Structures are given as C-alpha cells and as structure tokens.
Structure 1
C-alpha cells in the first residue's frame, strides 16, 4: 500500500506537534509494511483487513505491542470483521515479535524474579477472572459450563456434544472404574466432577481458587459423591486413584511446575494415572503477555514442551501426549457466538469497553490456535509406568 492510499493524519496548528506528526507517519509506514507482509490491507475489503479509525494506532502498537493493539481495540481505534483471521495472519509472519518487545521486558523480569503464583497470589486469577460473574460464563459456555477446549474430532456437531466427548475421552484415557477416588485440580464450576460421578460412579474431590466457581459447583453436585474445596493444590491432602487437571496448569507458573508435579505425585496412588490438559506454546518463554496479563489472565503463563517435560522428568513416566489444539478454534468461535447472542441480556452488568475486551480475547485466542502458535495438549502420566504398557485412547 502506498502513502497516497492511506487516510491523512489529523492536522494540527500546535507548533509543538510537527515532530510528533512525523513520528506517527514513520510508525504508520513501518506498520503498513508489516501488515502487507501478512496480506492485510488498511481499510481494505477483506474480512481480515483492519479498519483504522484513529491514526495514532500505529505508534501505539509499535511501542506497546499486544497491549497497545488490544487497548486500542477496546478504545474503538480500530475494527475488523474477522479478528481471528487478522491475528492468525500476523502470527504466521511473526509480526508481533517485531513490535512492542520493550513493554514485555518488565513482565519477563517479574516472572524470573518473583513467584506470583504462590500463597495469596494463587487466588488472584480466581478473583480477577473466574469471579467476574457466573452469568457471563453460563451464557457463553456449554450446558455443563466447561471452560476448556472441546473435542470436535469426535464428530460432535454442537458445543454440548463436543464438551461431553472431551469428558468421555478423559474418562477413557484414565480407565475410570466405579468407586475410584478422583482429584480434579481446577474443577471450575463442577461440570467435570458431576459428569464423572454420574456416568462412571467415581468419588470426586474438586478444588478451585474461585469462590464463585466453588459455590456453583457445590450446588450442581449436591447429592453426588463429590466434594468441592476452595483451596490451592499445594494445600490438598488425601490419596487418589486418578488425578485430572483440565485448563488449570496455565495458571501454575514455570517456577512452580516442578512443585506441581511433585505435589500430584504425593497425592497419587502408586498404580494411579494423571491426565493433564493444558494450553501450550511452541517455544519456551518465561514471561507473560502484557495485554493478557492486564485484562484477562493475571499471573498466567503457557508451558512449552521443554519446560513441561523438565517438570515431570524423574517424577512420572510419560504414557501419552495428545495434541488437538486445532479443536480450540471451533470451541472459541462457539463461545464467541454464544457471547454475542447473550450480550443484550448481559449489557446491563458489563459496559461497552468490556464487550470489546471480551470479544477481542476470544477471537484473538482463536487466531492464535488457527496459526498453530498455541497448542492444546492432553498428557497421561503414571508414577512407574503402566504394567504391560499403556494403550493410547483417541
């Protein structure tokens, strides 16, 4: 795209502005070059083309990276008909790595020097993300309120079917038998515990760091052999035949990966099995994304294969590693569609800026999985190796 095709910068009569005007123009030129490489046209006609409403956007993004891009969208500085496709294209040409790296440096040092996920810090994610409103999650998610990747590879046609297929996949991978004691680390709103208790006759202890999740989980599991606790995994006591952790490991933090694995081993029977379901990233990064950190998942961090393997090395035997991350694209799109349909009923509690923040979060995440920059893994681990070998389940 040439300079003539771009909308002109706002004019000003302030004598202090010419240098800033030139800086914005240089930022725009550089940003457009990155967008061109990704096949994205400013104010173009394709669904993934960005529609710019404020010319200050370019400098904001170049200086502040993902934080600038996300906040600018929340502020109404730009729009895009297909945000997921837009983000996917940026990631495929590694455009984010070329901007805003300075804004993430403090978070990198913070992650290296301070253990934010220990003690009271372990409960921050519950307070700031999962406690914002059960009405939001009930409207956005499936009927069981499962907030993790569904399993569409099963041939499921709806979100409810795909989530139930995922729960059934977990049960089959763990070879659940009636009467077993199961620990659900990060039990959410109790949908998984309820399903396993009803369908497989197991006794479940579910733990969460969210008060709102614990309250709803206790209500929905009333009358079942299910106990819901508001506690950090390091506080848990007991002995379990099977342990699952679905969509919680992202909040553990790399400084605690080894502690997590050792804690799980302490709680697991010698002939038990563990299923770990987590989002992952392709390259080890011991920092946190600035926009995600500020607005969505504080103190959270995605594991890489290397960091994850180092955490369980010498503690567990790896029996199975299943990647079905592409299923998260359909899951996030289904959540987004539900959110959009429910917004008229939610708008009285959440303002317009929250609406733009939340839809950007969902569609940005879908774009990351679409680009294969993010993965979804299910690992099956055993303390000493399954006698005779473990048979993978799909």
Structure 2
C-alpha cells in the first residue's frame, strides 16, 4: 500500500503508537509534521504502529511506500542517532532471528558469496555511473585537501597506493575490485600489474572495459579460491561482506598470498561495538548478509596472521562522500527514470541520506589498516 504525499500530511491519530513515537523523538530535534527540514511529515495513519513493530525495517519500507517524507533525511538520521534512537533500530524478534541465523549458518559462505553482487552491484551500471564520479569508486573518498568528490576519490586511491609503497613491475591483488577504480589508477600511475576479483558480473564487465590496454586482469572469483603470490594486496570496501565467521579465513588467505616483504591494505567501514548484528532494512534492500566489523573483530582475527603497521580513521569523510553521491543521484535521476520505478528512487535516497547521517553522528567509522608479515625496518604511513 502506498500513499500520495501530494495530499499533504494526515492528522496525527490519537493512538498509543503515536504517543510512544512522540516520546521517543522528544528532545531529539525531530518533530512530527513540523516545518524544519529534519521533521517527519506523516501521510499514512498506520505509520506509527508499523515502525514500532518493525523498527528501522518498517521505517525504511514505509518511506519507500510513500507513507512519510522528510526534506533532509540525513539531518533526521543524525539527530535521531545522536539522541540514542539507534538502540531501537531492531525489534527483539529481528535481533534474535539474526543472531540465530548468523550463529548457526555461515551467511557469507562460498555458495552465498554472490548474493550481494546479484542483489545490489548488478542492479545496473547505468545507475551507478550517474551516482558515482568518473573513477567509479563506490567507497569513501579522502577529503583532507579535496574540493569535490572526484578529487576526494583520486586522493583516496593515491593514498592507498602510497601506503602500499608501490613500485613499477609489482603484482598487486585487489580483493573486491568493484568497477576497477584502484586497478586502473595503480596500473596507470604506478606501473604495476593488477589482478582484481569481484563477485559482481556487471562490475567485472565494466572494469574490464575501463582497464583495456593496461596490465590489469579482472576475475569473477571468490577470495577463498585464490592461489599464487602477490607483492601487494589491497581490499577497498569489500570486508563488510566477509562476515564474522569468515574473518580468520580471510586473514589467513591474505597471509598465504603475501611474500615476506609484502604489504596489505584493508579499507573498511567499521562499527563502534562488537555485537554481531545488521540493520534489517540495509540487510534486506542494500547489502544482503553484510556485517560491519569492530576494532576487536579485526584485531582478534588478524593477530595470528599479520602484523598491524598502521590504522587510520577518516569516517567523517564518508558523510561528505555520501552526500555527494546523493547530489549526483538526484541531478541525473531523470536520465534513467524510465528504467527504474519510484520505489527504487526512494530506496536509494533513503540509503544514501541515512548512511550519511550515521557517519555524521559518528555511529559508523571508516578505517584503513596496513599490515605486513613483520618485515624489518620502520613503516612510515603517508597521510
């Protein structure tokens, strides 16, 4: 069931559900049917009971259905998270179900590894081309000295290459290469050969086209199936799909593929706590089976296999990156609107905006971690 926001907000029903929602929002800076950009304008009387029963799944789905609207979803999410409402993101039954599933089943097994590729990354290169910049980086940019998205993404790619201390002729493995952003940059500007792997057919096809004429090969392959040795290994925005049951296998695989003098750079979104959980809406509509690691998860899983040389957090930059993607998405939506429905448009706007708010509230982090096998000498990390 959908609602037409052109009819205007509905009169708020005098129900227990409404009063509970008002109490939760009290003091957050977000109001119901208010005039501020962060306020929620309700178009369906069942909105309140839906989000109380379904948490963020109901909040996101009801937005996709047009039951409510908000001029600045990013500001709304930031204020609500800073107010502590993230603790109410899942219903008890959802939290229990996810823990049971992730406890008894490997949600990121070899057999299930391609699910997120098919569900999200294969959605359409035409959409991602318009949302991202020319680098086709689908990960956090580095905004330290950047004036815009394209500069921030090039700076991120160059930062990763400098941290890896790339030299001409090296063979680099890119685990989760996406549309070939890092592979193209490293081959073109640092004279290295790159092997990139992805679990998305759409990404692999476009990455091969973008890297034509360069010493780059793109494989549709799971990281657990890799063989050989690589001078350097990099993984940008892929570890979020590994899953806690596979962290040990992931780091053991990296160790097996690195030579004694090698370096490995891990670039991942991180969680502030070590609970094994996933936002129900993100899990269903954006990144199926995704799990965000904590500092403890990464340290515990890697300590037997690799030596940590450097750890950098620039999570605040993801706010700027996501808002830039949203601006691109809105500006170019009309070019692809005939190929996607309105529900998809609202899904992407909600996803980009709410995630921006989460990074702004510092509920999420972005880490770059550099590892070695314990090679001699001091490692000086570029910034």
TM-score in terms of structure 2 length: 0.95
Question: Could you say what the CA RMSD is over the residues aligned between the two structures, in angstroms?
Answer: 1.2
Q: Which residue of 2 aligns with 1:389?
A: 378
Distance 1:217 1:126 in 2: 14
Q: 1:200 to 1:63 in 2, by over 3 A?
A: same
Aligned positions of 1:107-186 closer than 5 A: 107-153=98-144, 155-186=145-176
- Pairwise mapping of residues 1-394 of structure 1 onto structure 2 (< 5 A)? 7-9=11-13, 25-98=15-88, 100-102=90-92, 103-153=94-144, 155-384=145-374, 386-394=375-383
Alpha carbons of 1:344 and 1:93: their partners in 2 closer, same or farther (altered >3 Å)?
same
1:14 aligns with none
Greater C-alpha Rg: 1
Q: Cα distance 1:42–1:266, how it changes in 2: closer, same or farther (>3 A)?
A: same
Instruction: Indicate conservation of the 8 Å contact 2:12/2:18, yes or no.
Output: no
CA contact (8 A) 2:136 2:181 kept: yes
CA contact (8 A) 2:90 2:280 kept: no
Per-residue deviation, 1:269: 0.9
In structure 1, distance between residues paired with 2:179 and 2:90? 36
Show CA shifts across 1:117-161 (max 9, x none). Answer: 1122011111111001000111110101110000001x1112111
Q: CA 1:207 to 1:54, structure 2 compared with 1: closer, same or farther past 3 Å?
A: same
Between Structure 1 and Structure 2, how many residues are aligned? 373
Question: How far does the alpha carbon of each residue in 1:183-231 deviate from its partner, in whole angstroms, 9 at most, with x for none?
Answer: 0000001121011000000010000000011111111111111111000
SS of residue matched to 2:52: helix
SS in 1 for 2:262: strand
1:299-326 C-alpha deviation (Å, 9 max, x unpaired): 1100011111111012111110000000
Output the CA distance in 2 between the equivalents of 1:340 and 1:8.
30
Does the Cα contact within 8 Å between 1:209 and 1:232 map onto a contact in 2? Answer: yes
Could you state the TM-score of these two structures normalised by the residue count of structure 1? 0.93
Contact 1:66 1:290 in 2 (8 A): yes
| Deviation for aligned residue 1:98 | 3.0
Cα deviation code 1:1-21 (max 9, x no counterpart): xxxxx9342xxxxxxxxxxxx
CA drift of 1:181 comes to 0.7
Aligned to 1:21: none
For residues 235 and 12 of structure 2, the distance between their equivalents in structure 1, rounded to whole angstroms, comes to: 52
Q: 8 Å contact 1:250–1:300 — kept in the other structure?
A: yes
Q: Deviations over 1:36-56 (max 9, x none)?
A: 131211111211111111121
1:168 deviates by: 0.6
> 1:374 & 1:368 partners in 2: Cα distance?
6
* Structure 1: tracts of 5 or more residues without a match: 1-5, 10-23
Give the SS at the match of 1:243: strand
Instruction: Report SS of the residue matched to 1:240.
Output: coil
Structure 2: where are the runs of 5+ without partners?
1-9
Instruction: Provide runs of 4+ in structure 1 moved above 4 Å.
Output: none
Which secondary structure state, in structure 2, belongs to the residue aligned with residue 222 of structure 1?
coil
Distance 1:318 1:116 in 2: 27
